[in-house]
Amino acid sequence: MAIYRDQEIECMSREDMKKLQDERLAAQVKHVYENVKYYRDLMDEKGVKPEDVKSTDDLHKLPFLTKSDLRDAYPYGLLAKPLSECVRIQSTSGTTGKRVVAFYTQHDIDLWEECCARAIVAAGGTNEDVCQVCYGYGLFTGGPGLNGGSHKVGCLTLPMSSGNTERQITFMRDLGATILCCTPSYAAYIGETLHDMGYTTDDINLKAGIFGAEPWTEEMRRSIEKSLGIKAYDIYGLTETSGPGVAFECSEQTGMHINEDHFIPEIINPDTGEVLPDGEVGELVFTSITKEAFPLLRYRTRDLCVLSRKKCSCGRTLIKMSKPMGRSDDMLIIRGVNVFPSQIETVLIEQGYSPNYLIEVDRVNNTDTLDISVEMNPEQFSDKMKDMQEQEKALALAIKTMLGINPKVHLVSPKSIVRSEGKAVRVIDRRKLHD
């Protein structure tokens, strides 16, 4: 069974990859400078001309681009091809401000789907597979991206979109789905529903899952793998860079290989913009070197992670990014302490709780409060008040040991926290409402 979609690229020597990136970068900077006024102005302001960027060593000369630039330029200000050559738009959900609209030529769609195809092949996918895609379809990139990748691999594709979970399981069983693509929180929900319907992993044919679009912990991975009887692979991407498939996991499951022939990664200090060496945690920045319609140079993702060039047992030489540990903008600062929701999730699952929880932060009498509602499994439930209080105390202590601050833990009854069919909302920060 082929384990690579494109062995020549995925296992290319560093030297050859750099050469390829150098050529593509220089051409891309020229394309952008000539066709996008917004960029031209930014580059002129910094005194950089296209001929100053001959290779990846010159990348640092280019200005950064941020989400606020995308909003300023909405909707057409960053378009680098005539609209007549564009065939699609996709968009972010726009929950935190104006939507970001990304444009694609047919060439861009093909490259994007190829990136997703690499992810599917790395998860063991072939044309013998049945691939059930339960990411949302429509403006969200998850459904269309994995759908296209699945077609390219030749899988029988089930374009389910999210929702109607019992029907998902019926199709999964009737059509013998072998690969599941959705958010990790929806995968957990599908696993839960499977068991609620009285089935076990013996009643389904799944072997792999390709899960992304939101942060998820190693503990969550193990929990999903167990409940669905699969190997769970991570996949990363963002609308601005085309969608899923910017990076994908291989069988080693120790980070995601970045499709470096299309995206050049950098890690920067989010406060100063200084480029950090591999191995240091910082904000991930991408330069897309092959996209035509909506190419972004040095785009700040706000995702915090680490890059690694350690040799991978799968044979791929593509650089690896760690699971994003959160976004610089979803880190909570509670009583002065930096808290990532993923740290709380790790403790919950380690302590045997379900990944269904809600973190609520507020400010009362000038002091931050942290309340965590955690769903119990049926076997953890007790009708003795004292037992419940003991359990809450023990869990609060475990979380305090991890975070350094004291939370208030509320154990709530099984199935009382709303399940997510897409990206889960796990944090409500009410302090923002008072500001």
Residues that bind ligand DLL (CB under 6 A): 92, 135, 141-142, 212-215, 234-239, 243-244, 301, 303, 323-324, 327
Dihedrals phi, psi of 193, to nearest 5 degrees = -65, -40
Residue 433 CA to residue 427 CA, distance in Å, equals 14
Q: Measured from the CB of residue 12, what is the shortest distance to ligand DLL in angstroms?
A: 24
Q: Measured from the CB of residue 265, what is the shortest distance to ligand DLL in angstroms?
A: 13
239-248: string of b/e by CB count within 10 Å (b at 16+)? bbbbbbbbbb
Q: 100 or 409, CB closer to ligand DLL?
A: 100
Q: Measured from the CB of residue 328, what is the shortest distance to ligand DLL in angstroms?
A: 10
Q: Measured from the CB of residue 429, what is the shortest distance to ligand DLL in angstroms?
A: 17
Q: 17 or 238, CB closer to ligand DLL?
A: 238
Long-range contacts of 300-304 (CB under 8 A, 24+ apart): 300/64, 300/65, 300/66, 300/67, 300/268, 300/270, 301/238, 301/240, 301/241, 301/327, 302/67, 302/270, 302/327, 302/328, 302/329, 303/238, 303/327, 303/328, 304/270, 304/328, 304/331
Q: Measured from the CB of residue 130, what is the shortest distance to ligand DLL in angstroms?
A: 19
Q: Measured from the CB of residue 394, what is the shortest distance to ligand DLL in angstroms?
A: 29
Q: 22 or 266, CB closer to ligand DLL?
A: 266
Q: 95 or 272, CB closer to ligand DLL?
A: 95
> What Rg value do the Cα atoms of the chain yield, rounded?
22
Q: 33 or 112, CB closer to ligand DLL?
A: 112
Nearest-CA neighbor of 182 among 214, 222, 227? 214
Q: 33 or 216, CB closer to ligand DLL?
A: 216
89-110: string of b/e by CB count within 10 Å (b at 16+)? ebebeeeeeebbbbbbbeebbe
Q: 209 or 212, CB closer to ligand DLL?
A: 212
Q: Measured from the CB of residue 232, what is the shortest distance to ligand DLL in angstroms?
A: 11
Residue 385 CA to residue 391 CA, distance in Å, equals 10
Structure tokens at 276: 């950090």
